[in-house]
Amino acid sequence: DIQMTQSPSTLSASVGDRVTITCRASQTTDSRLAWYQQKPGKAPNLLISKASTLESGVPSRFSGSGSGTEFTLTITSLQPEDFATYYCQQYKNLWTFGQGTKVEIK
Amino acid sequence: EVQLLESGGGLVQPGGSLRLSCAASGFTLRNSAMSWVRLAPGKGLEWVSAIFGSGNTTYYIDSVKGRFTVSRDSSKNTLYLHMNSVRAEDTAVYYCAKSRYIYGYEFDYWGQGTLVTVSS
């Protein structure tokens, strides 16, 4: 099984801040890594696939990078609608999610 | 337009059974791998089970093996999760999710979720 470790678990930030979330895999995922955003009471929404490919309709302030076992999600200039919980997910070997990172208002 | 609509959640006693349904529209189930993912109170997302496009291959996390069964009805284009011997720790919102391709990959569409509460 591939285990995913996300950090931090909670992040306090202000509108306009640059935010970075890290995800580490217990073994290489060959860049089969996705990022999701989830707001309370809503279904998750796919933001990024293949570690760095932005989904259609996702604002360009979101970006993903990394390879092998280390990945990051970056939000440049945080907007009010970006306060949510973010999850990484590997899909090389079935599926595993990270524990989630809650981005809250500072 | 792809849509996924879950139903069947509710209150069930420990040891009881429940069947969740996920009605799909805008695509054919057998052309995609489909999963069930849950979000327990105060916890993160957890992948639970999957059925691949062929319908002959299914996977489960260890904690539900032998208790949950994923299946699909191609004539109704509907995915199911049969939950038996439920436990308190199965309490969660259950989502069905569509993989981009028949053999898996990321989840490009999700349903709105259905709440399962296991309690006496």
| Average pLDDT score over residue span B88-96 | 98
Cα separation, B30 vs B8, in Å, equals: 22
Give the closest residue to B39 by CA, choosing from A5, A39, A3. Answer: A39
- B110 to A45: CB separation less than 8 angstroms, yes or no: yes
> From the candidates B107, B108, B109, B115, which should be mutated to test the interface with A, based on the most A CB atoms within 10 A?
B107
Amino acid A45: pLDDT: 98
Amino acid B103: pLDDT: 81
Q: What SS3 class is residue B89?
A: helix
- B46 to A97: CB separation less than 8 angstroms, yes or no: yes
* CA dihedral for B61, B50, A6, A17, sign (positive or negative): negative
Confidence at B102, pLDDT banded by 50, 70, 90: confident
Residues of chain A with pLDDT under 50: none
Strands (E), chain A: 4-7, 10-13, 19-25, 33-38, 45-49, 53-54, 62-67, 70-75, 85-90, 96-97, 101-105
Amino acid B55: pLDDT: 75
Q: Over the stretch A34-46, which tens digit does the pLDDT of each residue have? A: 999 999 999 999 9
Show residues of chain B in contact with A43, CB under 8 Å.
95, 110-113
The pLDDT of residue B101 is above 90: no
DSSP β-ladder status, B114-118 and B10-12: parallel
Show residues of chain B in contact with A57, CB under 8 Å.
none
- B44 to A49: CB separation less than 8 angstroms, yes or no: no
- A97 to B113: CB separation less than 8 angstroms, yes or no: no
Q: Over the stretch B1-28, which tens digit does the pLDDT of each residue have? A: 999 999 999 999 999 999 999 999 999 9
- A45 to B47: CB separation less than 8 angstroms, yes or no: no
Confidence at B104, pLDDT banded by 50, 70, 90: confident
Q: What is the total residue count of chain B?
A: 120
Which residues of B have a CB under 8 Å from any CB of A? 35, 37, 39, 44-47, 50, 59, 95, 97, 99-100, 104-108, 110-113
Of A49, A87, A91, the CB nearest to B45: A87
The pLDDT of residue B73 is above 90: yes
Amino acid A13: pLDDT: 97
Find how far residue A60's CA is from the centre of its chain.
14
- A97 to B45: CB separation less than 8 angstroms, yes or no: yes
Tokens of A29: 């995922």
Q: Over the stretch B30-64, which tens digit does the pLDDT of each residue have? A: 889 999 999 999 999 999 999 997 678 999 999 99
